Structure 1
Amino acid sequence: MSAAAKGLDEPVGGRGTTRRVVGHLVLGMLSLACLFPVYWMFATSLRAPQDVYSLSVLPWPLSLENYADAMARADIAGMLVNTAMVAVLTALGQLLTGLFAAYAFAAWRFRFERLLYLAFVGTWLIPFQVTMLPNYVLLSQLGLLNTLAGVIVPNLCSALGVLMLRQHLMSFPKELLEAARMDGRGSWSILWTVVVPTLRPVLAALGILLAITAWNEYFWPAMVMQRSNAVVQLGLRSFMGTEGNDWGPLMAASGLATLPVFALYVVLQRHIVNAFVRSGLK
């Protein structure tokens, strides 16, 4: 190979390496920028009460007084249990309704299919402020106000779940469905023995998204629940007042509220990675 050809090859490789290094540096800085507020929350919660307003990056000396104060002033454990119940049941309901609807759209052809699908898309585009008053009146008539069921029931169906699962099922090999039908399996058996095992990573990733959305919901529980300590997002208000916020216990309670979400991600992390890997496969 001539020297000129070598000279042409070396800059290309050098530019490729430089791009990778710069790309990793940019991603690393963005990751640190996203993680720093979470770190600062835990750092503030671990400071002594008199050091809450300190600007030092490392909290020292470490103290658990803020956590003890937060748990003494509010039923943190009870709120976490209620919030977990709301998030899990809401996510499961949305996964089931989304799976059933998406399976129907992908496996069968029927009249007004396109119109019904557009109706699902239309419900996703309707702002929550439009539907909250009819839902509130309906819950009042059913006697579900100030109950966890009143928070859960109106959110058991999610247009987002239907749209995402339908897109995955549209690319599902139709030959597998036909082979299962030829083996004598019914639609219900095909769904649970053929479709669901294949969609397990997708369902896990979507389930985390739906559960986190339900976990962080504030406005709807604030409308339905009259008790401020019903769920953790409402309970955090007890550390906020007109005269100022009690930042130490507030950060401690907020840190405890994030731990179940981290645990959920750690448990289902493998399925999330598989979902991203399989999304590029045909």
Structure 2
Amino acid sequence: MTGLSVGPFYWLVVTSTQADSDIYAWPPKLLPAGHLIQNLRDLQARIGLLRVLGNSLLLAGLQTVGALVIALLAGYAFAKFRFRGRSLIFALLLSTLVVPDQVTLVPLFQMMMRFHLIDSYASIVLPGLCVPFAIFLMRQALSSLPDELLDAARVDGAGELRVLVSVVVPVMRPVLAALSVFLFLGSWNQFVWPLITLRNPQHYTLPVALATLHGVESNTDYGAIVAGTALSTVPMMILFLVLQRQFIAGLLAGATKG
């Protein structure tokens, strides 16, 4: 099973170091070659690799941080406050989980046009700030947090914001770490919506920029495309390695909550 998981990734890395002629060779070459730097140079010349990589990092980072903050605030409100229509609002929020993303593309595009946000970073970041699954997950995790812990902080004179920052966030750190990985992964891999709303190549994200390299078969630089694809996995791997312990703790915490 390990071989089945590692095999495709190993083939991706090996292919990213090869020229087009080596990729089509038979029998296939199973060892890395020395063409990686040239493939990356070709990407830089054709799509501005550093620029589109920076665009992806910026947009994914903003979306992840913004979605985490909104999910934490909304989850805290749904879990710890009693207000009229709470159950109905939460049910409506959950109902959006069954709506395919493709259904919302046209009305979302019209909304972005009305606000004159087409071909801007805001058109990518703003629709990704409210993630119903993230709010649901935070609400479920916060529901298990004892009210006595929060009341003790309030008795000591802490306001709601102080309670949230000093009590809730430290306790929920494993859940926030796990959720940040999922949110960053989803934002980093976005393709259809950025392809629709971004028109200036200077604003392209890495997946959209790589898609522009596909042409007729004789003009497609597969070595550069594979090198860019391999490079796109690096930020996700770094994020997972940095948050690995808390990510696993968050998953285990979610699995043991009744």
- Are 1:70 and 2:12 an aligned pair? no
| Structure number, greater radius of gyration | 1
Inter-partner Cα distance in structure 1 for 2:61 and 2:197: 18
8 Å CA contact 1:123–1:159 kept in 2: the answer is: yes
8 Å CA contact 1:74, 1:235 repeated in 2: yes
1:236 to 210, 222, 230: 210
State which of 227, 232, 246 in structure 2 corresponds to 1:271: 246
Residues 1:46 and 2:17 aligned together: yes
Identity %, equivalent residues: 35
Q: Residue deviations 1:183-221, cap 9 Å, x none?
A: 222211111110011111110110110011000010000
d(CA) in 2 for partners of 1:155, 1:49: 37
Paired position in structure 2 for 1:254: 229
Please show how residues 96-107 of structure 1 align to structure 2 within 5 Å: 96-107=69-80
Partner residue of 1:22?
none
Kindly indicate whether residue 172 of structure 2 is the aligned counterpart of residue 199 of structure 1: yes
Q: What amino acid maps onto 1:106 in structure 2?
A: A
Matched, 1:188 2:161: yes
**For residues 278 and 243 of structure 1, what CA distance do their matches in structure 2 show?**
49
Unaligned ranges ≥5, structure 1: 1-28
Give the counterpart letter for 2:199 in structure 1. Q
1:74-93 counterparts in 2 under 5 A? 74-93=47-66
* Deviation string, structure 1 residues 49-68 (Cα, Å, up to 9, x no partner): 43122312223x43332222
Shift of 1:76: 0.7
Q: Per the alignment, do residues 68 and 161 of structure 1 end up closer, same or farther by CA in structure 2, a change over 3 Å counting?
A: same
State the alpha-carbon separation in 1 of the partners of residues 67 and 143 from structure 2.
19
1:113-128 counterparts in 2 under 5 A?
113-128=86-101
SS at match of 2:18: coil
Contact 1:45 1:67 in 2 (8 A): no
1:7 equivalent in structure 2: none
Residue range with higher mean Cα deviation, 212-221 or 228-237: 228-237
Whether the 8 Å contact between 1:41 and 1:251 is mirrored in structure 2 is yes
| Gap runs ≥5 in structure 2 | none
User: Are the counterparts in 2 of residues 94 and 157 from structure 1 also a CA contact under 8 Å?
Assistant: yes
- When the two structures are aligned, how many residues end up with a matched partner? 252
Shift of 1:162: 0.5
1:159 and 2:116 correspond: no
Q: Report the more deviating stretch, 186-195 or 34-43.
A: 34-43
Residues 228 and 234 in structure 1, CA contact (< 8 A), matched pair in contact too = no
1:20-70, Cα deviation, whole Å (9 max, x unpaired)? xxxxxxxxx1x32122222111101112443122312223x4333222222
Contact kept? 1:121, 1:163, Cα under 8 Å: yes
CA contact (8 A) 1:91 1:211 kept: yes
What secondary structure, in the 3-state scheme, does the structure 2 residue paired with 1:240 have?
coil
Match of 1:35 in 2: 6
The answer to whether the 8 Å contact 1:70/1:253 transfers is yes
Q: Which amino acid aligns with 2:221?
A: D
Q: Secondary structure at the match of 1:250?
A: helix
| In 2, Cα distance between equivalents of 1:217 and 1:41 | 20
Secondary structure of 1:146's partner? coil
C-alpha separation between the residues in 2 aligned to 1:277 and 1:151? 32
Distance 1:276 1:140 in 2: 39
Partner SS, residue 239 of structure 1: coil
TM-score (norm: length of structure 2): 0.91
TM, length-normalised to structure 1: 0.84
